[in-house]
């Protein structure tokens, strides 16, 4: 992993440069010039202090090849700056002008069937095209020269969601680049043959010139999973290279302004390996769009938990979210009363110091006209715009109270996320095509909330050794080094919880042999004290066969019954010191010859332990498991938090709260000031007692008369409520 660039955060145009950034994508090129003045009037009304500008404006900046027109952009930036609104200026390369494609159709990507993608949308370019890169870098340099000294431009917004539309390119440029990438990675062709297991199906490669992209291979379509996984990595790397080239071109001319690019972290997608990207930006930013339904807040918090880890505990930027509905799903629900403000402040609660939307003014034309915005079609006399103003005020209140720059308190547990495992679980060569690493991370995250505890989500590649517990949900890919880190963590007192379908293959998608889960040549099995030989896969395909199996969990408040519906590792032996916490039983288990087979186990390892969850469980059952596990003394229980680390205290404080409440804490660097954020995860009103500190924000909350003898204040949190309090020690 490359060293991380130093953290640099864009200053606002406020007297001291500080404050929570608030605004959105601003696309004045879609409107006549007089609308800009009206926009600025409304931005001031809404307390907007930042906009992301010119993201899709290449054709306006360079209407014909080599002809740059900055006048319109200068005029917009001058007016914004004079109104105290800082500009996060785009490199403007996310959508190229049509003249470029007319002149150079060879820059267009090619799909896996060999069809050239057409121009007319965005990111219709090959990340590996030298021709496109030349045009893009020329534009970057022109922008950098023109705006390097502009005091209102306070950050560079590179590209936009790199890889959204050109993540998978199968062009000849990509082929040449993939061959070169493989040669850099493997050095010798023997190493590649070995890694890819090319002895299978006559795939031996004689030289790097014979390496193929995983283009469409006919109806069978069973691509070598090692080749596919490398192609995923390659695509990530090519886009990261492209980003770096753009950043470096600007930085050579304009080194003083911080760089970012908007990630796409939400638990429905995993485009890039952002654990790598986070090292290459000065501050991390994200685009997050809400999930409809009961997972709304939990999903947001889970995505943000990963963002917070990517930001290495430092503040991060919400570059885009929506005031209400989007327009790109089959059905697009709007937000309910209070959700606009609650969602935004929930991001702050999870560590964000910037709240921005796509987009400022709702488009009248084009593909996104029915996507909500800060100024809706209805205009300023609207619920949405009033909500936008209310949010602006709330963010100013939080800024004035000193939230900006405080850091999110760490949890005790880290759920480990791996982009590689997410890509790998999509392979069609596994025992089940229903594996989904990211969704399992989300389920575990929600489960911890339901069990009254908040977890962090941390990239597998990062350092998670200071946590008490790590959880690996469907982390299919584990290298020998990963297995060693897990074993060392357990040996020194940590608890490692290993989910089903974890640690089955190495980084080359080569199966670990000798029994499941075999990562590290059996090291993971040693940590867990179990050995499995087969997998039992349930589903609706086997006519008449039972589709769910019961297991009885011992511990906690007595035995309880859980159900598995997809995957059971057939554990055939356990170590003498392994405790079986749950075993399969009942008629379905007997039918599948699993009666009495260990399903969930716990095994001491050094000072710590390995817990194996050899089957899938739904969230409610996982919550029961977490409760039962918290009754099992763990190696580090009672260990003091490390100096300077806020870990432990806050997580413990959250315990005992109604699990319908999501509780987070942000603490100042000197530890003197803490902000507690309380949000209602449920639809019903929830009572919260024992709240210390002064209330800063109480949105959809009502104070309750305090009971005599009770310490702290009490509130009722209504639906979509958020309460923020400040405590100065």
Q: Which residues are catalytic?
A: 161, 320
Q: Is 343 in the site for ligand GLA (CB under 6 A)?
A: no
* Burial class (CB within 10 angstroms; exposed 0-12, middle 13-18, buried 19+) of 477: buried
List residues bridging with 458 in a β-sheet: 416
Rounded Cα distance between 362 and 358, Å, is 9
Measured from the CB of residue 363, what is the shortest distance to ligand GLA in angstroms? 10
Rounded Cα distance between 105 and 602, Å, is 59
Nearer to ligand GLA (CB atom), residue 56 or residue 234: 56
> For ligand GLA, which residue of 83, 326, 401, 649 counts as binding (CB under 6 A)?
326
Measured from the CB of residue 475, what is the shortest distance to ligand GLA in angstroms? 27
Rounded Cα distance between 690 and 710, Å, is 7
Measured from the CB of residue 357, what is the shortest distance to ligand GLA in angstroms? 10
Rounded Cα distance between 27 and 35, Å, is 11
Rounded Cα distance between 252 and 233, Å, is 28
Rounded Cα distance between 302 and 286, Å, is 13
Q: Are 47 and 152 in contact (CB under 8 A)?
A: no
> For ligand GLA, which residue of 371, 666, 681, 726 counts as binding (CB under 6 A)?
371
Q: Is 255 helix (H, G, I), strand (E, B) or coil?
A: coil
Question: For ligand GLA, which residue has the nearest CB?
Answer: 287
Q: Is 358 in the site for ligand GLA (CB under 6 A)?
A: yes
Measured from the CB of residue 384, what is the shortest distance to ligand GLA in angstroms? 15
List residues bridging with 203 in a β-sheet: none
DSSP line for 349-411:
HTTEEEEEES-SB--SSSTTTTS--SB-TT-SSSHHHHHHHHHHHHHHHHHHHT-TT-EEPP-
Measured from the CB of residue 490, what is the shortest distance to ligand GLA in angstroms? 38
Cα maximum dimension of the chain: 82
Number of chain positions touching ligand GLA (CB under 6 A): 9
Measured from the CB of residue 307, what is the shortest distance to ligand GLA in angstroms? 15
Nearer to ligand GLA (CB atom), residue 161 or residue 616: 161
Rounded Cα distance between 439 and 302, Å, is 10
Q: Are 354 and 314 in contact (CB under 8 A)?
A: no
Pattern 139-178, binding to ligand GLA, x per CB under 6 A? ---------------------xx-----------------
Using alpha carbons only, what angle is made at residue 50 by residues 46 and 52, rounded to the nearest 5 degrees? 120
Rounded Cα distance between 727 and 53, Å, is 37
Measured from the CB of residue 137, what is the shortest distance to ligand GLA in angstroms? 22
Nearer to ligand GLA (CB atom), residue 125 or residue 678: 125
Q: Is 320 in the site for ligand GLA (CB under 6 A)?
A: yes
Rounded Cα distance between 162 and 94, Å, is 8
CA 86 to chain centre: 27
Pattern 272-311, binding to ligand GLA, x per CB under 6 A? ---------------x-x----------------------
Nearer to ligand GLA (CB atom), residue 56 or residue 445: 56
Residues lying near ligand GLA in the complex (CB under 6 A) are found at 160-161, 287, 289, 320, 326, 358, 368, 371
């Amino acid at each position: 992993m490359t060293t991380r660039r130093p953290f640099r955060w864009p200053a606002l145009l406020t007297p001291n440069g500080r404050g929570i950034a608030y605004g959105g994508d601003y696309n004045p090129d879609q409107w006549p010039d007089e609308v800009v003045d009206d926009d600025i009037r409304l931005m001031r009304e809404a307390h907007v202090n930042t906009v992301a500008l010119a993201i899709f404006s290449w054709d306006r900046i360079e209407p014909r090849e080599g002809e740059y027109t900055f006048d319109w952009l200068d005029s917009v930036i001058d007016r914004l700056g004079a109104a105290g609104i800082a500009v996060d200026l785009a490199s403007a390369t996310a959508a190229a002008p049509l003249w470029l494609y007319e002149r150079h159709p060879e820059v267009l990507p090619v799909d896996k069937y060999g069809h050239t993608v057409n121009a007319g949308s965005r990111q219709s370019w090959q990340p590996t095209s030298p021709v496109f890169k030349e045009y893009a870098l020329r534009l970057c340099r022109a922008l950098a020269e023109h705006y390097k000294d502009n005091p209102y431009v306070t950050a560079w917004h590179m590209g936009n969601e790199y890889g959204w539309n050109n993540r998978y390119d199968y062009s000849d440029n990509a082929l040449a680049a993939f061959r070169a990438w493989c040669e850099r990675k493997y050095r010798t062709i023997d190493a590649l043959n070995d890694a890819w297991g090319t002895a299978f199906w006559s795939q031996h490669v004689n030289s790097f010139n014979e390496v193929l992209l995983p283009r469409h291979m006919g109806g069978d379509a069973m691509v070598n999973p090692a080749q596919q996984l490398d192609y995923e990595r390659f695509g990530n790397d090519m886009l990261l290279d492209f980003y770096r080239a753009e950043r470096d071109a600007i930085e050579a001319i304009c080194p003083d302004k911080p760089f970012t690019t908007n990630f796409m972290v939400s638990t429905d997608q995993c485009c890039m390996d952002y654990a790598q990207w986070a090292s290459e930006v000065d501050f991390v930013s994200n685009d997050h769009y809400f999930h409809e339904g009961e997972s709304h807040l939990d999903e947001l918090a889970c995505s943000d938990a990963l963002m917070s880890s990517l930001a290495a505990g430092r503040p991060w930027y919400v570059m885009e979210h929506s005031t209400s509905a989007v327009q790109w799903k089959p059905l697009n629900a709007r937000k309910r009363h209070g959700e606009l403000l609650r969602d935004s402040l929930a991001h702050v609660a999870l560590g964000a110091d910037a709240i921005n939307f796509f987009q400022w003014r709702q488009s009248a034309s084009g593909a996104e006209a029915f996507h909500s915005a800060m100024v809706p079609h209805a205009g300023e006399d609207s619920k949405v715009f009033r909500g936008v103003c209310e949010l602006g005020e709330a963010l100013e209140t939080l800024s004035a109270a000193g939230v900006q720059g405080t850091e999110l308190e760490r949890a005790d547990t880290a759920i480990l996320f791996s982009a590689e495992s997410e890509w790998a679980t999509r392979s069609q060569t596994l025992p089940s095509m229903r594996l989904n690493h990211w969704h399992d991370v989300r389920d575990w995250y929600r489960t911890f909330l339901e069990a009254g505890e908040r977890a962090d989500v941390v990239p597998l590649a990062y350092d998670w050794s200071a946590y008490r517990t790590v959880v690996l949900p469907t982390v299919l890919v584990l290298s020998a080094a990963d297995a060693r880190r897990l074993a060392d963590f357990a040996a020194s007192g940590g608890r490692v919880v290993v989910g089903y379908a974890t640690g089955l293959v190495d980084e080359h998608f080569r199966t670990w042999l000798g029994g499941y889960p075999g990562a590290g040549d059996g090291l993971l099995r040693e940590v867990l004290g179990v050995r499995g030989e087969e997998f039992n896969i349930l589903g609706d395909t086997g006519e008449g066969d039972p589709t769910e199996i019961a297991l009885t969990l011992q511990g906690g408040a007595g035995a309880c019954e859980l159900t598995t519906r997809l995957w059971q590792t057939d554990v055939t032996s356990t170590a003498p010191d392994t405790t079986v916490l749950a075993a399969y039983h009942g008629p379905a288990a007997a039918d599948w010859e699993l009666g009495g087979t260990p399903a969930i186990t716990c095994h001491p390892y050094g000072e710590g332990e390995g817990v194996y969850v050899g089957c899938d469980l739904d969230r409610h059952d996982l919550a029961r498991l977490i409760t039962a596990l918290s009754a099992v003394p763990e190696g580090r229980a009672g260990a003091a938090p490390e100096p300077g680390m806020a870990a432990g205290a806050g997580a413990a404080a959250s315990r005992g709260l109604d699990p319908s409440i999501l509780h987070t804490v942000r603490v100042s660097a000197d530890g003197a000031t803490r902000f507690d954020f309380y949000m209602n995860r449920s639809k019903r009103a929830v009572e919260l007692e024992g709240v210390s500190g002064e209330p800063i924000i109480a949105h959809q909350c009502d104070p309750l008369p305090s009971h005599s003898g009770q310490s702290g204040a009490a509130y009722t949190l209504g639906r979509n409520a958020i309460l923020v309090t400040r405590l100065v020690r």
